[in-house]
Each structure stands twice: as structure tokens, then as C-alpha cells.
Copies of this chain bind each other. A is one copy, B any other.
Amino acid sequence: MASTNIANPPQNSRKRAKDLVLNLQDKICQGLEAVDRKGAFEEESWKRPEGGGGRSRVMREGNIFEQAGVNFSEVEGKELPPSIINQRPEAKGHEWYATGTSMVLHPRSPYIPTVHLNYRYFEAGPVWWFGGGADLTPYYPYLSDTRHFHRTLQQACDSINPSLHKIFKPWCDEYFFLKHRNETRGVGGIFFDYQDGSGKVYKGQNPNGEAANIAGKLGNLEMNWEEIFSLAKACGEAFLPSYIPIIEKRKDQNYGDKERQFQLYRRGRYVEFNLVWDRGTIFGLQTNGRTESILMSLPPLARWEYGFQANDGSREKLLTDLFTKPQDWFKDETLEEKCHPFHAVD
């Protein structure tokens, strides 16, 4: 295994990773309050009986955000759950340390996408790794918004290594995949996990995912601790510039009950992904995490409707046909003509 070649992390690795995600939480919350202009974050600090704790922040009934949750946590435990030990057998029998920030924003307007971000760092005995990413889930999608989000994250990845985005983009499509619906959660973004320097890619939920093959073809992607740290930092700092311009562009678009009902219906899919497939959620619930903080990702209101199908030729059908399937957002020249009839380009 490549992971036996991993260099040791720097001596102050835990503190540096913790400061990174803590600062990220601060900056993101400031940026969100500024754009919302009404809502303010309420903060709750908590301790975990087995060790560690966190700082949960929630904004409710804001101008832009119906609910925004931004968590920070730093936790320790005796033994990682089997789901992680399977992927990192070297961690077995060792105490573990993890710190991270995670965020899900549920805007009120169906024209502003839901968005998720998470960056985390683990140490367990001889092994350490970074994981994280960000992904966008529109209800009434726009090609330009999708491209802006992807482009901003790509630039952050490129600043570390121009091969990375080629892997992390398809890995995101592969991970944020609802197998029981044969849909991606949304238009994706970037995702990486177990990054320990070996450059190894793990399969996501979608059995047809291509991330590992692509990584194989790209060849040597080894990075040291500092490079992966810088990657997490660059991607984390790219979040506000990737998302705020979408808010500014969409916030004054009017919508009616039809759009609201469709948004609530699609939020049901968000619940399904998080509770059925999301490793972070399952990890939290398995390790006796703080339930209220873990489930802060769930929407304030969601709807299910048996047998719902969007009408052919509708804006809603465009979402399921095009924007919940993996796409090459930059290079596919058919996307514009497919979006054009729905005024969904720009």
C-alpha cells in the first residue's frame, strides 16, 4: 500500500488543521451574514462525553437563508467505526482525532441553490488524512451559475496541482449520488477523501463512477502534508467567491407557489441523500456525535409526493434530465442549446 510511504505530519498538525477549519467557519459566517443583511448566527458550544467538542452556528429566518448551519468540531475517540477502518486498516486499535467544519445552506428562494461544504482532518495512530469538498444543489438551475461555481473551485484546485480538479470533480459526482434515484444530488463541485499523500481515490456511491480510473491515468499525484493542507485551505477560501455571486444574481427574481412546492419536493431528495448515503452523517450518528449538529444539514421544511414526475418540456424536467446527471459543464457545447429554451443559461 502506498500509505506506508506517508511522511509524518508536522508536529503542530492538529493545531494547524483546527485553526484552518475554525477560521473557515468564522470567515464563512461573516460573509453569509453580510449577504443576508437580516439574519444573524446563533452560536452554541458543546462538549462530547467521549472527548472534544464543537461550536455550532445556525441562522434562521434570514432574508436570503431560510436556514444556514455552519459547524465546527474537534473530537477524539478510542476506536474509529468499522466503516472507516475498512478504508484505513492501519487505524485499527488506535485512538483517533478529527477536526472539521461542515456547512449546509438552505436559501428561501428556489432560484438560489442549496450548497454544502465540509473540510476535515483525521489522525489515528500511524495514519492521517484530509477530506472535504463543496457541492451545489439548484432547484431552478442556471448554466452560468453552475459554471461559475465549478470554475471557482477549479481555480482553487489548480493553484495546488492542475491535475487535481480532473479527479475531484468526477469524484464529487460519484459521491453525491442517490443510487435509489439514479440521480446526483445536484450539479456537484469537488470532493476528496482519505487524502494522505498517496493520491489514492476511493469509489463513491455510483458504481459507474470514473474518478479512480481518471486518477490512474493521470499517474503520480503524491502530495505531502503541506500541499494537502494548502489544498483544503484554498478550496475552503474559494467557497464565498464561488457562491455569493449566485445569490447576488438571483435574489431579486420573483417566484410563486409552484416554484416553492417544487423546491420543497426536491429538498426531500436532500434528506434522502444525507440520511441514506452520506458517510459524514453516518459517521456522526455511529460515533455518538451531537445529533442536533449533525442533522442541522436537513432542510427546515421538505415534502414528499408519491409518483411525482415533472412534465415533459418543463423547467422542472430540465433539472432532473440535465442537472442531476454528471456533466462536463465547461466543454459540453450542447448544454447551452438544451438550457436556452428554458431561459436557464444566464
Contacts and interface: CB of A to CB of B under 8 A. Distances in A.
A19 interface: no
Nearest to A298: B304
Contacts of A300: 303-305
B58 A306 contact: yes
Nearest to A56: B306
A285 B295 contact: no
A215 B47 CA distance: 39
Interface stretch (A133-141, A271-279, A334-342): A271-279
A340 B170 CA distance: 59
B298 A181 contact: no
Interface residues of A, number: 31
A233 B92 CA distance: 48
A44 interface: yes
B307 A295 contact: no
B306 A303 contact: no
Contacts of A44: 307
Contacts of A12: none
Interface string A99-121: 00000000000000000000000
Contacts of A307: 44, 58, 292
B180 A291 contact: yes
A299 B298 CA distance: 15
A55 interface: no
A268 interface: yes
A276 B179 CA distance: 15
A132 interface: no
A181 B291 contact: yes
A305 B42 CA distance: 13
A67 interface: yes
6 contacts: A60-B306, A67-B306, A180-B285, A268-B298, A298-B304, A301-B303
Interface of A: 44, 56, 58, 60, 67, 69, 179-181, 264, 268, 271-272, 275-276, 285, 291-292, 294-296, 298-307
